[in-house]
Amino acid sequence: MTALLDVRDLTVAFETPRGRTEVVRDVSFELAPGASLGIVGESGSGKSMTSLAVMDLLPPGATRRGSIRLAGTELTTLPPREMRKVRGARVAMIFQDPLSCLNPYYTVGLQISEAYRAHRPRATRREARRAAVEAMERVHIPHAAERVDHYPHQFSGGMRQRVMIAMALSGEPELLIADEPTTALDVTVQKQILDLIAEIRRDTGAGLVMITHDLAVVSEIADDVLVMQHGDVVEQGGAEQVFSRPRHPYTRRLLEAVP
């Protein structure tokens, strides 16, 4: 079976006046359709750069090398036009801080509608608005029909993350990449968002890459785990095996740090 996502020898480097720094080194992993992979590691280990490389959204000055295949299609050589169609429609991303992704002056309904219309050019505004309300209901935002007209700052952190998830689902992606989606949230809200992500996986069959520094999150949601340290993969395998029999001292240290 063709992997949903097949990343081979991905290296990401920054060119600076002082030279070249590799922040992701020869990372390889495979994700089967509908499967979930947790990428863990401390801050600065290269988790975000790995996911941004997949989306071709690396910051200026960063270059990537290696192969990234989505259901057999090589993404690294896709023309930018084609890559724009992949983002959102086939692979959607959720970030740690929804406020940095939402326009403060537009209602969430408008922003979800726009995301919806970006993938369905023939949809009318009315249809898109209805889809936005439905999407908000799907992620269990109460009173969606009224809240669709509210602005990002009128939502709590957890509700804002639900808005981001609603937006991410608007293109019906095959793959969801979540980069620390619960890190900025209170513990009880973290659990609710994780449950929602698990529910969406069940309902849509989408694959999931869950990036986190929190091993508890991974043990809850991931089939496989990849442990990164300073840009290198130090351990990877089935979540259960990695958690019960960690081979690398770094993984053991991460596990010991879990309360």
Binding region for ligand ADP (CB under 6 A) = 14, 23, 41, 43-49, 59, 61
Q: Which stretch binds Mg ion (CB under 5 A): 16-24, 48-56, 131-139, 156-164?
A: 48-56
Residues 60 and 12 sit within 8 Å (Cβ to Cβ): no
What is the bridge-based pairing of β-strands 232-238 and 224-229?
A: antiparallel
Residue 23: name its binding partner from ligand ADP, Mg ion, none (Cβ under 5 to 8 Å by kind).
ligand ADP
Least distance (Å) between residue 193 CB and Mg ion: 17
- Say whether residue 51 binds Mg ion (CB under 5 A): no
Least distance (Å) between residue 140 CB and Mg ion: 27
Residues 68 and 86 sit within 8 Å (Cβ to Cβ): no
Report residue 144 as tokens.
């969606």
The single residue among 48, 50, 51, 212 that binds Mg ion, judged by CB under 5 A, is: 48
DSSP3 helix / strand / coil % (the chain, rounded to 5) = 40, 25, 35
Least distance (Å) between residue 252 CB and ligand ADP: 19
Cβ proximity to Mg ion, 48 vs 161, nearer residue: 48
- Say whether residue 182 binds Mg ion (CB under 5 A): no
Least distance (Å) between residue 49 CB and Mg ion: 8
* Strands (E) located in the chain: 5-16, 19-31, 36-40, 62-70, 73-74, 91-94, 175-179, 207-212, 224-229, 232-238
